Amino acid sequence: MAWRIEAIDTETAPEHELRMLYDLHLEIHDELWSEDPREPFELWEKEIRETPSWRRTLRWAVWSDDRARALALATLSMGFTETNRHLADFDVTVRREVRRRGAGLQLLAPVVAAAEAEGRTLLEAGAPTDTPGTAFLDAVGAETKIVERKSRMVVADVDRAMLELWVERAAERAAGYSLLAWDGPVPEEYLERFVDLQMVMNTAPRDDREVDDWVHTPQRQRENEERYARKGETWWTLVARHDATDGLVGYTEFVFPPHDPTVVWQEATVVDPTHRDRGIGRWLKAVNCLRLMDERPDVRYVDTWNAFSNAPMLGINNAMGFQVVKSYSDYQIPTERLAAALKERRGS
């Protein structure tokens, strides 16, 4: 059947349309991410209304005949920074009741057209492994490029003595280094150095993903911080400094979501390659976790993401007690190939 597809600008759309999209979002959340608390509408609305200045996200919706419900949604998100201008991310979500009736495939048509118009030659998408999302991506010819794991650590089960030992050993293994800590925005005196340090994430495993190094700037850092603050998020940053050069050589971050005091997200943990094998990663994570245990007794879980291929970081996380919650497969497909696949399916 032919579905009526309409573009929707979520920055200006009326609230009642966003609430219909939010209802679709909740159905998918409950199907795929039931281990996480539901995000309230007000926070979700801020997320989709406030796009970073260097990104542009386009959306297309399929509505019910009476326009009382959103049945499906497709998105195309494109970055406009110094690198990766050949890439775009897409996503297609369809309610269970209307799956296998062509809505997902038809929604890909405007996605591909917009990507081609912007010169995006490679498309990326992902879904929890072995779900309808990965079946859909397999069916259209996309290829798995890297598989990630979402992991959860139960704070009550953490071996505090082990963390304290890691801190003690750092006095010898990481002699000549010290720690800096701040909550919230980066202090101005460290801004440029911390932005440079974040780009060490470019050394993380990519497996078969065709992607260039990403570039960060002080301006984007400040914009991100402002967006997080408007959503009510708070965060702790712990940084390792090489005392002899005053260089920042590693960091780790906790992010606290405003809608659930029992969960914290372990974000990036990074150590510059020239300063590795000194226990700095363990030191950073141990100190932050010990502070969490002392100052945030309501936090029950710590969640994080890693590539399955990131053996060094998984070695630390597994020792701390992180266990796999689910697997997530990241795909890529050339825009031209996806366009050809859609054309072939229409012809059949």
The pLDDT of residue 197 is above 60: yes
Write the single-letter amino acid at 221: Q
pLDDT digits (tens, 9 = 90+) for 117-128: 999 999 999 999
Structural contact between residues 8 and 16, judged by C-beta atoms closer than 8 angstroms: no
Indicate the length of the chain as a whole number.
348
Mean pLDDT of 321-335: 98
The pLDDT of residue 166 is above 90: yes
- The alpha carbon dihedral of 178, 180, 181, 184 has a sign of negative
The pLDDT of residue 246 is above 80: yes
Mean pLDDT of 168-191: 97
Mean pLDDT of 322-336: 98
Domains and CATH numbers, the chain: 5-148+330-347 (3.40.630.30), 159-320 (3.40.630.30)
| Distance (Å, whole) CA 124 – CA 303 | 24
Quote the Cα angle for 61-66-72, to 5°. 25
- Which one, of 311, 324, 338, lies nearest residue 207 by Cα? 311
Q: Please report which helix (H) or strand (E) contains residue 87, including its range.
A: strand 87-94
Q: What is the largest CA-CA distance in the chain?
A: 69
The pLDDT of residue 344 is above 90: no
Structural contact between residues 309 and 209, judged by C-beta atoms closer than 8 angstroms: no
The pLDDT of residue 348 is above 60: no
Average of per-residue pLDDT values in the chain: 96
DSSP state of 297: T
Q: How far apart are the first and last CA of the chain?
A: 14
**299 contact partners, CB below 8 Å, separation of at least 6:** 155, 256, 261, 262, 263, 264, 292
**233 contact partners, CB below 8 Å, separation of at least 6:** 255, 256, 257, 258
Tell me the C-alpha to C-alpha distance, in Å, between residue 79 and each of 170, 214, 268, 333.
Answer: 39, 10, 20, 17
Tell me the C-alpha to C-alpha distance, in Å, between residue 165 and each of 168, 227, 239.
Answer: 5, 37, 19
The pLDDT of residue 347 is above 80: no
The pLDDT of residue 183 is above 80: yes
Give the pLDDT band (50/70/90) at residue 29: very high
Mean pLDDT of 170-179: 96
Please report the pLDDT score of residue 141 as a whole number: 96
Distance of CA 71 to the CA centre of its chain: 25
What the block records as the tokens of 211 is 């992607």
